[in-house]
A = this chain, B = another copy of it.
Amino acid sequence: MTRQTLMPNAYVPGATPLAPEDEARITRRARLLGPAYRLFYAEPLHITRGEGVWLYDRDGRAYLDTYNNVASVGHCHPKVTEALARQSQILATHTRYLHDGILDYAERLLALFPRELAHVMFTCTGSEANDLALRIARAATSGTGVIVTDNAYHGVTLATAETSMSVGPAVAPGPTVFPIPAPTPENYPEGIAQGFASAVTAACARMEAQDIKPCALIVDTIFSSDGVRPDPTGFLAPAMAAIHAKGGLFIADEVQPGFGRTGGQMWGFERHGILPDMVSLGKPMGNGYPMAGLVLRPEVIVDFGAKARYFNTFGGNAVAAAVGLAVLDVIRDEGLMQNAATVGAAFAQGLRDLSTRHDSIGETRAAGLFLGTDILTDGKPDGTKAGRLVNDLRREGVLISATGPQGHILKIRPPLPFSLANVDQFLTTMEKLLKT
């Protein structure tokens, strides 16, 4: 097994014959970008255009995008690109001058949170947001020990990569990072809520045995790279109490589930009835424009604010503010959170129906338009089969990927304007493939 295959659905050079022009493009890419970049699919896609839930390749072939959560209000949404074009022609400077745009956006954004989460700070990427959360948590607790799940992903900076178990043992866990089992029924037969909380307490004890003071529990509230683990709702509440009891903070990583994707609410943490200390935001925030942020309770930044300052050259610039506002407008005006709830429920039901007819399809776990479906052989996880299905779907014009420590879980995460007709196309294509 090459290292490439550690990432589910990664292109493996030489494994599949490709058109000469794509082979040339891949060679050029390796020459220019080096060995650390990966491509999706056994046959990489050459995408040239995007619109709504569709991506188009160089030959004009349409692919139903059931995967990309960055272009969350739809690829190249005209209201967002208009706001981007307009503001970039007026002003794009930073937060060390006064500007109403960033304040108006901050106010609109914070209105979508419980009022205790009263501040927002702006970065350019989710990695920077989680990295800043760790810096602030260290200052607030004077601890360094961080608890994560055992296939977590939280970013690519040195500090966040060390918390990202899913990128492999050469990178994570860092010396002060303590992984705990993901919240699955198999890992916690005693019940996920109590089991997961006990694991947090046990991790704190392991820290303390090494003279490491607890700093934070950070979780992606949909547990995407752990295989999509939304249920039972409320299970995070005891875990948050457990980290608080040890003096650590609770960081909700909403980079993937945030901005309405989970359907009934704007943020994944709301499904658990909890009030996080910090909430990191990213990918869908600017629908592709590089912007991200960190929402927090004012208490947690008192120490950091007294000892340090924060400036992010591009973060919170006037263009980011205009784009972010346009994204919030579109989510509201097009009812995308509600659409995620209704279409997501139909999507999950359709996958569950499929599983009654096909043994390869196991459990589907979902919250709104964030879905994970287990692929099985003889009732056991089968990452190879999941990879084959992902690549077969791609050949049939439908884009998804796979996830989880064994790579056997289909990760389904379309742009939010996904329709019932789109769901039907997905399910029809899937059933056709399962029959052959």
Contact = CB atoms under 8 A, between A and B. Distances in A.
Interface of A: 3, 7, 22, 25-26, 28-29, 31-40, 44-50, 55, 68, 70-71, 75-76, 78, 81, 84-85, 88-100, 102-103, 106-107, 110, 118-121, 124-128, 131-132, 134-135, 138, 156-159, 161, 167-168, 170-171, 282-283, 287-291, 296, 298, 301-302, 304-317, 319-320
B32 A119 contact: yes
Contacts of A89: 76, 78, 81
Interface core residue of A7, A283, A288, A306 (most chain B CB under 10 Å): A288
A314 B301 contact: no
A142 to B, nearest CB: 12
Contacts of A119: 32-34
A107 B32 contact: yes
A283 to B, nearest CB: 6
B157 A35 contact: no
B98 A25 contact: yes
A345 to B, nearest CB: 27
Contacts of A282: 313
11 contacts: A7-B309, A25-B98, A25-B100, A33-B121, A36-B121, A44-B97, A47-B99, A55-B91, A124-B314, A125-B128, A156-B310
Q: Which 5 A-B pairs have the closest CB atoms?
A: A35-B305, A92-B288, A170-B307, A85-B85, A34-B119
Nearest to A21: B98
Given A32-B103, A48-B99, A168 B290 contact: no
Contacts of A106: 32-33
A308 B46 contact: no
Contacts of A70: 92-94, 313-314
A85 B283 CA distance: 20
A98 B310 contact: no
A296 B47 contact: no
A173 to B, nearest CB: 14
A105 to B, nearest CB: 9
A49 B99 CA distance: 10
Given A3-B306, A290-B315, 8 more contacts: A33-B121, A50-B90, A84-B88, A124-B128, A125-B313, A134-B158, A171-B308, A290-B290
A373 B227 CA distance: 57
Contacts of A127: 128, 312
Contacts of A98: 22, 25-26, 29, 39, 44-47
A290 B106 CA distance: 19
A433 B269 CA distance: 56
Contact of A75 (B84, B91, B290, B306): B91
A220 to B, nearest CB: 14
Contact of A161 (B55, B76, B135, B317): B135
Contact of A93 (B31, B37, B68, B311): B68
